[in-house]
Amino acid sequence: MPRRALVLLLSCLTLLGVATAVAPAASAEAGPEYVALGDSYAAGVGAPPDGVSGACLRSPHSYPALYARTRPLTHVACSGATTADVLRHQVEAVTATTDLVTITVGGNDTGFSPVLTTCSTAAADETCARAVRAGEAVARFALPVGLAADYGTIRLRAPHARIVVLGYPRLFDETPNCAGVPNQARRALLNHGADTLNAAIRGSAARLGAEFVDVRPAFEGHGVCSADPWINGPAAAGAYHPTARGYALGYLPALVAAAA
């Protein structure tokens, strides 16, 4: 690992600390090979939940569960998780025998839900724009600290594991007419925010020796307001998260291609 990355990692761990709690896994075996970490996008929120993971809302249709049908899986991703939550409650699932770790995290650090709420309800477009810009500032300047702590701790716990970091899709098709969602200008702002978030995640993954998987091309033409959406609209359970088709046809092929 480059010297600068090690210095950054040690600084992150000093700031955030490494706690010992681990969220209950959806399935596990001794000496797991594949460990899935992250937030709601990794847990599978937006697809039917497994019914046993409580507030974490893990789903058998999530991309980790779909990918792991042929191998042991420890799935500890949890709805609402931030980078700090991953560090405190999830990374201990990674062991020296782990050979693959996947993770999607960072959206909650930048205010995923509050920004969407603001852009859905604000009277003025500029109010939405300010919320998006604030989230983008967090993505550029604060999020890399949390990501470095997560990726670096994973690397320390499993020196030989492959770390695959999956990003986020753009949520919206920007067609002019779409009822019940932010207007076209606000949807464009939110999609730009997703691009900024993915850029920050890509940069952090590169610095810490992880592989970034960009899922935006797979979801192109399948956002909210498209003719064939793979992301739930605002009225659905798991609003603004991939549907089961989104995990199967968007995330899974991207992960398979990266892990091949």
**DSSP codes of every residue in the chain:** --HHHHHHHHHHHHHH------PPPSS--SS-SEEEEESHHHHTBTB---SSSGGG---TTSHHHHHGGGS-EEE---TT--HHHHHHHTGGG--TT--EEEEE--TTTTTHHHHHHHHHH-SSHHHHHHHHHHHHHHHHHTHHHHHHHHHHHHHHH-TT-EEEEE-----B---S--TTS--HHHHHHHHHHHHHHHHHHHHHHHHTTPEEE--HHHHTT-SBTSSS-SB--TTSTTTTSB-HHHIIIIIHHHHHHHH-
192 in catalytic set: no
The yes-or-no answer on residue 241 being catalytic is yes
Catalytic one of 40, 59, 62, 79 = 40
- Catalytic, out of 61, 89, 222, 241: 241
**Catalytic residue numbers?**
40, 241
